[in-house]
Structure 1
Amino acid sequence: MLGFVTFPAGLVMLRSGLGSWEKDGPAGGGDMSSFSKAPQQWATFARVWYLLDGKMQPPGKLAALASVKLQGLHKPIYHQLSDCGDHVVIMNTRHIAFSGNKWEQKVYSSHTGYPGGFKQVTAAQLHQKDPVAIVKLAIYGMLPKNLHRRTLMQRLHLFPDEDIPEDIRKNLVEELPQPRKVPRRLDEYTQEEIEAFPRVWSPPEDYRL
C-alpha cells in the first residue's frame, strides 16, 4: 500500500507499509532517519537574516558577499527562477573605505530624462549626502539585471551606523565575517608591539640626523 504524506513546508514523502501511521512514526517502529531530516530541509527553505559590518570595508567586497546571500547562491536549492534568497543587514555604511584616491576619482552619473538633466557627483559628495547610497548602488549593480532585482533589493537593509531597529535585530541569526581585515591605527598599537616590530636598521646612540 502506497500513500503520500504532505508536510507544512510543501514536502511530499512516499511511505509504504500496511500499518497505520502514528504520531511518532510507522506502526511497529522503523527507521526515522528520513524524517529527522525534515527540519533540516525546512531550514533550507527558510529565510535567514545575516548581519555584516561595513566598517573600513570596500563597497565592492561588501556587494560581492551580499549579492550571494540575497540571491541564495549558497543554497543547494538555488534556481534562477526561484526566490530563495536571505535577508542581509549591513551596518556602519558611513565608515566604508576606498583604496587610493577613489573618493575623488570615482564618479556617479544620473539623468532626470529632461534636457540638461545630466548630473555627475564624486563618491565623496554622494557619500556626504547619503551615507548608504554607495553601498546600495554597488549591490544593485552586482545583482542580475532582470525583474527579480527589485525583489532582492527589498531584502537588503542598510544602516549608516550601529543603530539597528529592534524588530530587525531580533531576527538576526548569523554575523558574516568581514571581507577584509580592519587595519589598525598607529595609536592603537601598544608599546610592546611597536618595539617587537622588525626593523630594517637601528641607528646607533650617537647618530645625529
Structure 2
Amino acid sequence: MSLTRRTQQWATFGRTWYLYDMKWQNPFHSARKIAYVLSGRNKPIFEDRTDCGDHVVAINSRHISLPGNEWEKRVYYHHTGYPGGATWTLAHELHAKDPTIIVEKAVYSALDKDLTRHGRMRKLHIFPDDKVPEKIMQNVTHQLRQMRPVPVRLDHIPKDVVDNFPKIFDWPKDFVLK
C-alpha cells in the first residue's frame, strides 16, 4: 500500500476536530450543520449505526441570534418527575442562566433519535466566548463556515473607507437637517 493511500485511509477513519463560530448565527440552522458533522455524514464511510463522526468545538454561544421575537416567545419545558414539577422557561431567561444550553438543546434535537445520540453529543464542545482551553484548541484542524456573515458595525469601519464610499446624494457642506 502506498504512502498516499495510507494517508487517505487515516484521514477517512480518523477523528477530525472542527471549529464553528456561533456569533450572530441562528442556533437551529447551525445545529443541522453541526449534527451533520457529529454523525459523520460528511465522510465516505458513513453508516447509520457506527460511531464515525468528528468533534465540533462551538465558540461564542453567548452571541447567538434568534429571529424575530423568539427570545420572548420560545419556551423550554422541563419536568422534575414529581407532581407539580413542570417548569417553562423563556429563551432569554435560559440563555442568561447558561449561554451554552440553547445551542446544546438545538444540536441534541437535530441529531438522529437513536442510541448513538448521547455518544455523538459527547463530541460537541460548546464555549460561551472565544476562550477555549489550549488542550482542546491544539486538536482543532478544520473550520466550518458560518451559515450567515457577521455584520460589521459602522463604528468599526475605518473613516477613510466611509468617506470614500459612493454617495447617492451629494449634500452641500453647510446643509443641516431640521
For the criterion TM > 0.5, the same-fold answer is yes
Q: Call closer, same or farther: CA 1:197–1:45 in 2, change over 3 Å.
A: same
**Bigger fraction of residues in strand:** 1
Deviation at 1:198, TM superposition (A): 5.0
Q: Deviations over 1:79-122 (max 9, x none)?
A: 10211000000111111111222111111111112111111111
Q: Call closer, same or farther: CA 1:37–1:154 in 2, change over 3 Å.
A: same
Q: Call closer, same or farther: CA 1:171–1:207 in 2, change over 3 Å.
A: closer
Q: Distance in 2 between matches of 1:72 and 1:149?
A: 12
Local SS of the residue matching 2:150: coil
Q: Distance in 2 between matches of 1:126 and 1:152?
A: 23
Indicate which of 56, 71, 86 corresponds to 1:103.
71
Q: Distance in 2 between matches of 1:142 and 1:36?
A: 35
Structure 2 match to 1:135: 103
Q: Distance in 2 between matches of 1:151 and 1:198?
A: 55
Deviation at 1:175, TM superposition (A): 1.6
Indicate which of 116, 119, 122 corresponds to 1:151.
119
TM-score (normalised: structure 2): 0.89
Aligned residues: percent identity?
45
- The higher radius of gyration belongs to 1
Matched to 1:48, the amino acid is T
Q: How many residues were matched structurally?
A: 176
Q: Mark the runs of 5 or more structure 2 residues left unpaired by the alignment.
A: none
Indicate which of 84, 87, 90 corresponds to 2:52.
84
Local SS of the residue matching 1:152: helix
Structure 1 match to 2:144: 176
Q: Distance in 1 between matches of 2:4 and 2:107?
A: 37
Greater alpha carbon shift after TM alignment, 174-183 vs 139-148: 174-183
Q: Deviations over 1:161-195 (max 9, x none)?
A: 11111211111111222111001122123344445
Matched to 2:124, the amino acid is L
Local SS of the residue matching 1:120: strand
Q: Distance in 2 between matches of 1:84 and 1:208?
A: 63
Indicate which of 57, 73, 76 corresponds to 2:41.
73
Instruction: Give the alignment's Cα RMSD to 1 decimal.
Output: 1.9
Indicate which of 78, 93, 111 corresponds to 1:125.
93
Higher relative contact order (CA 8 A, sep 6+): 2
Q: Mark the runs of 5 or more structure 1 residues left unpaired by the alignment.
A: 1-31
| Corresponding position: 1:55 with 2:13 | no
Matched to 1:117, the amino acid is G
Greater alpha carbon shift after TM alignment, 71-80 vs 160-169: 160-169
TM-score (normalised: structure 1): 0.77
